[in-house]
Structure 1
Amino acid sequence: MAERSGRCLCGAVSYHFTGEPIAARVCWCKDCQHIASNGTVNAVVDTDSLTINGELSEFISVAESGNQIRRRFCPTCGSHLFANSSARPQYTVVRIGTLDDPSSISPTMNIWTKSAPAWACFDENLPLIEGQAPPPKVVEK
């Protein structure tokens, strides 16, 4: 079974998860643009497969969908690491750029492209979804 690890910029927070992501996407929503000044590249993983070491700070807001989004980040360096939606607490979004090997997961689509700036660069091989993608289809274990 695949295992991946990552950390924040200063190393105060580290994590690992097992298994393959349920989805991997580039998100262009306004919130992600505020976090990264660009789109964010995210892997959706089973929350139960994720182990986090270190203290996190969090910020909770309401998304355009009406769901509460809990974003967690390192209180020392500010690296944004994780997000959870009240609609799907069984999944955690992991920012792929924080992985020790970010090339180990490739995004499969761009979402919220209607919010992307005119200068956004899209991979021509990935589908463009104007809003939120439908929930990933998960095969029961």
Structure 2
Amino acid sequence: MEKRTASCYCGQLSVEVQGEPQGVGVCHCLACQRRTGSVFAALAGFLAPYKVTGIATEFVRTGDQGAKFRFRFCSVCGSTVFHTEEGNESKWVAVAVGAFADPSFPPPQDSVYDCRRHPWVQLPQGVVVYEKDPT
């Protein structure tokens, strides 16, 4: 089974995942825009097990549906690397696509919070678009 490693800019924090992503998506919500400093977040979900190396600083955010998400980022360089949903940490992990530093990484399959997408952002053909979070 293929392994992939995503890491922060300085390399202090990393997460190793196995297999293909269960899904790849982009989120245009204002919380993700502020969290990433970009106009959207690109995330890939992987099933457990996953292995974390290094020390993460954590931030917990409550989503629109009430779920609590624990974001992990590097305390040295500040890069966001991954997050989990409280209560589901042993099931899956969401990894920032950019942390893989792999231009051949699979493209997004869906896009959420399109109502907040900057009008100049063009999505690849075939991406399923949701006005808000479909869950």
Alignment TM-score, normalising by the size of structure 2: 0.88
In the aligned structure 2, how far is the partner of 1:125 from the partner of 1:42? 17
Q: CA 1:94–1:17 in structure 2 vs 1: closer, same or farther (change >3 Å)? A: same
Please say if 1:30 is aligned against 2:30: yes
Contact 2:49 2:92 in 1 (8 A): no
Contact 1:96 1:105 in 2 (8 A): no
Post-superposition offset of 1:40: 1.0
Contact 1:80 1:95 in 2 (8 A): yes
Aligned-residue CA RMSD (Å): 1.7
Q: Deviations over 1:21-40 (max 9, x none)?
A: 11110111111111222111
Q: CA 1:54–1:102 in structure 2 vs 1: closer, same or farther (change >3 Å)? A: farther
Number of aligned residues: 133
Secondary structure, in 3 states, of the residue corresponding to 1:38?
A: coil
Contact 1:27 1:39 in 2 (8 A): yes
Contact 1:96 1:102 in 2 (8 A): no
Percent identity among equivalent residues? 27
Contact 1:13 1:55 in 2 (8 A): yes
TM alignment of 1:95-134, pairs within 5 A: 95-134=96-135
In the aligned structure 1, how far is the partner of 2:130 from the partner of 2:39? 16
Alignment TM-score, normalising by the size of structure 1: 0.84
Stretches of structure 2 lacking an aligned partner (at least 5 in a row): none
